Structure 1
């Protein structure tokens, strides 16, 4: 599977040298380096309370339609439901970094301790839900704001896809918001060629249920070569 690379440093354009003088280089924006991180695919490494805190920090909700307060904050996820949702996921990826990278500060002694899910702070997460045989959908890819733009989200997405394809699952989709589409496209996803549509129940006043349809923001990786 081919991923579109992100900007990791200055780029040198081909140049012709005249009179032993090189033309000025075009400097591109450099993102901060990726800090030391620990990536885990072990479900037991995830503490639901820490995951809920990460959701709050990222203003992200596992609910498709969360309640939003007047200041734009989403409602906290119930820890028990969060634990159940994660335990029933086909693939989970969690990322840990030293807490001083997130909060600042720290001392030399803490830097000497090996980085593990126990000694580190949860700074990134992503999961996939599927049937463990044919299809899967990627959800809830997030990175704490302080460490965004350093390639951690791309690592999470690549690890999820690798774990799924190792199981022989190539029908992979990602349900995302308009704001997330740029990120997924940069990681090799594209618009759904089949024009898939979601059908969902929306509860009206009383006990009646109304069936509504809408365009699904479904993105898929490039097709496999035969």
Structure 2
């Protein structure tokens, strides 16, 4: 499997959203998105208390390899930033997007696990999720943001401002044999 290491350089990204009066950590992200001929509101949250089974279903929907939930829980708990996006259907929360970042909390952050439900792809949610992730990291004055991308999504990340390693330093990996 080939991965590409990318760096983000545009520091002026901005997303406008409204706070939801019911929750400090839950906010309206996109209003009136059309799904099945109905307008729905998409919300986002930075709360780390995420339903792991819902996250696993979301990752499964895009064909990711199944990961042990115990390890996913540890990864989330040790992440610097978690952003989930969802909508409500009959008072049930439906997870449709997710991203997380790890960081040294000073200079660097790496974005991981960016995923959008296939039913919602092509509607700008991935781009909005990435812009919000970058905005949150920049709020913490993190200047170098990296990610690893599969070859089939490289164009997506380039369109939102990521570039291949500007210093020509190639990332190195170690995997157990």
How high is the TM-score relative to the length of structure 2?
0.74
The 2-side partners of 1:33 and 1:2 are apart by: 29
The 2-side partners of 1:129 and 1:42 are apart by: 15
Give ranges in structure 1 of 5+ residues lacking alignment: 4-31, 61-73, 100-109, 114-118, 205-226
The 2-side partners of 1:186 and 1:33 are apart by: 24
Maintained 8 Å contact 1:2/1:188: no
The 2-side partners of 1:203 and 1:79 are apart by: 21
Aligned match of 1:90: 80
Aligned match of 2:57: 53
Give ranges in structure 2 of 5+ residues lacking alignment: 1-10, 14-32
Deviations 1:11-58 (A, max 9, x none): xxxxxxxxxxxxxxxxxxxxx8585211111112x1111111111111
The 1-side partners of 2:176 and 2:143 are apart by: 34
The 1-side partners of 2:146 and 2:176 are apart by: 27
SS at match of 2:175: strand
Deviations 1:146-202 (A, max 9, x none): 110111111111111111111110111121111111111111112211122232333
The 1-side partners of 2:176 and 2:97 are apart by: 33
Aligned match of 2:135: 162
* Structure with higher RCO (Cα < 8 A, 6+ apart): 2
The root-mean-square deviation of aligned C-alpha atoms, in Å, is 1.9
The 1-side partners of 2:46 and 2:122 are apart by: 22
Aligned match of 1:65: none
Count of residues paired in the alignment: 144
Higher strand share: 2
Matched, 1:42 2:77: no
Maintained 8 Å contact 1:134/1:169: yes
Maintained 8 Å contact 1:90/1:129: yes
The 1-side partners of 2:113 and 2:101 are apart by: 8
How high is the TM-score relative to the length of structure 1?
0.59
Q: Runs of at least 4 residues of structure 1 off by over 4 A?
A: 32-35
Aligned match of 1:202: 175
SS at match of 1:198: coil
